[in-house]
């Protein structure tokens, strides 16, 4: 049985990855310091003989006994609310955490995949964003703690790949949504959906003309799994190229939730990206991957989860 370590295992994406690897017949070691993760996301896995959990901060030395085939590094705050609240931990998990895990990958001769992000492109001057675009990031702005942690993470990963010949993979994740998102996450979908379900006003920043591209979590996990098992070491965008303005997105959620909530407008946060759309040509060509779940279907599934979670 192949053995995989998944950091950030109790988080939104990490927990879905744990489910995927369990389903595919792997022995899964989940690791999380629970700073933003939630044990409820993985409690259904705890009784399984091929799952174990380590409550640990990867910014400190990481030890795993025995053999290890794969490492997926998904530990990191990922919402502006979180990384503005815990900026130093965000920088540490992207730098020290990545260094510790690359050292473990080297020692165990394991393949390591890191969760990078579309935020490495910053507020992009190129649209849609291709993997060869270097980005437009403000390193000292409020979002810099997350953006630069991820950019450093990519550089460190490529250095281990080049210098130590560690097998590495880099996924650049675009906006993803689905069950197990935190209600107080602060990102557009959980904010809109929890506001609509509580009949509160939906808060749109700026005039709502900024765009995002939303990928359902099952599609994302499938892309990550394919990338891990591929032989490609450079960054690959995984996301849904169907672009929508945040105002349109808020209106879709209003309709879905059948709410009396109105839309209110608030000042745009500093360095908030004006547009986001992945070019997924590489993922299609290298991995045979593209998203399958429509936004309508994905939002319906997420709505059912949020309705239960808010009871």
Intra-chain end-to-end CA distance of the chain, in Å: 40
User: Are the beta carbons of 12 and 180 closer than 8 angstroms?
Assistant: yes
Looking up tokens 């939906």, which residue turns up? 202
Q: Taking a C-beta distance cutoff of 8 angstroms, is the pair 267, 117 a contact?
A: no
27 is known as an active-site residue: no
Q: Helix axis angle, 246-257 relative to 295-309, nearest 10°? A: 60
**Dist. CA 107–CA 101, nearest whole Å:** 10
Query: Edge-to-edge strand order for the sheet containing 51-55?
Result: 51-55, 27-32, 3-7, 70-73, 111-117, 168-173, 235-238
Output the CA torsion sign for 89, 93, 96, 100.
Answer: positive
Q: How far is CA 167 from CA 8, 24, 140, in A?
A: 21, 21, 32
> 278 with 241: CB under 8 angstroms?
yes
**Catalytic position from the list 26, 83, 146, 177:** 146
Residues 6 or more apart whose Cβ sits within 8 Å of residue 55: 32, 33, 34
Q: With contact defined as beta carbons under 8 Å apart, do 300 and 294 qualify? A: no
Active site residues: 146
């Amino acid at each position: 049985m192949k053995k995989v370590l998944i950091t950030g295992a109790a988080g939104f994406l990490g927990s879905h990855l744990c489910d995927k690897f369990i389903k595919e017949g792997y022995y899964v070691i989940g690791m999380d310091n629970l700073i933003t993760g939630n044990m409820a996301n993985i409690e259904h896995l705890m009784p399984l003989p091929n799952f174990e959990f380590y409550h640990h901060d990867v910014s400190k030395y990481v030890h795993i006994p025995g053999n290890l085939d794969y490492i997926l590094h998904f530990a990191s705050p990922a919402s502006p609310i979180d990384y503005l609240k815990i900026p130093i931990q965000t920088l540490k998990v992207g730098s020290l955490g990545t260094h510790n895990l690359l050292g473990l990958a080297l020692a165990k001769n394991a393949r390591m995949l890191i969760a990078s992000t579309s935020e490495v492109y910053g507020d992009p001057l190129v649209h849609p964003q291709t993997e060869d675009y270097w980005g437009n990031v403000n390193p000292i702005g409020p979002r810099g703690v997350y953006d630069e942690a991820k950019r450093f993470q990519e550089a460190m990963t490529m250095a281990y790949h080049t210098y130590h010949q560690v097998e590495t993979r880099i996924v650049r994740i675009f906006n993803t949504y689905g069950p197990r998102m935190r209600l107080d996450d602060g990102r557009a979908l959980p904010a809109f959906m929890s506001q609509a379900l509580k009949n509160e006003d939906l808060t749109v920043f700026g005039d709502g003309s900024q765009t995002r591209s939303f990928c359902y979590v099952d599609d994302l996990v499938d892309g990550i799994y394919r990338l891990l098992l591929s032989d490609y070491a450079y960054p690959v965008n995984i996301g849904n190229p169907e672009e929508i303005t945040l105002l349109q997105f808020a209106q879709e959620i209003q309709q879905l939730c059948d709410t009396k909530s109105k839309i209110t407008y608030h000042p745009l946060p500093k360095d908030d990206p004006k547009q986001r759309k992945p070019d997924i040509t590489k993922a299609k060509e290298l991995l045979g991957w593209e998203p399958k779940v429509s936004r309508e279907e994905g939002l319906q599934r997420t709505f059912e989860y949020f309705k239960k979670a808010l009871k």
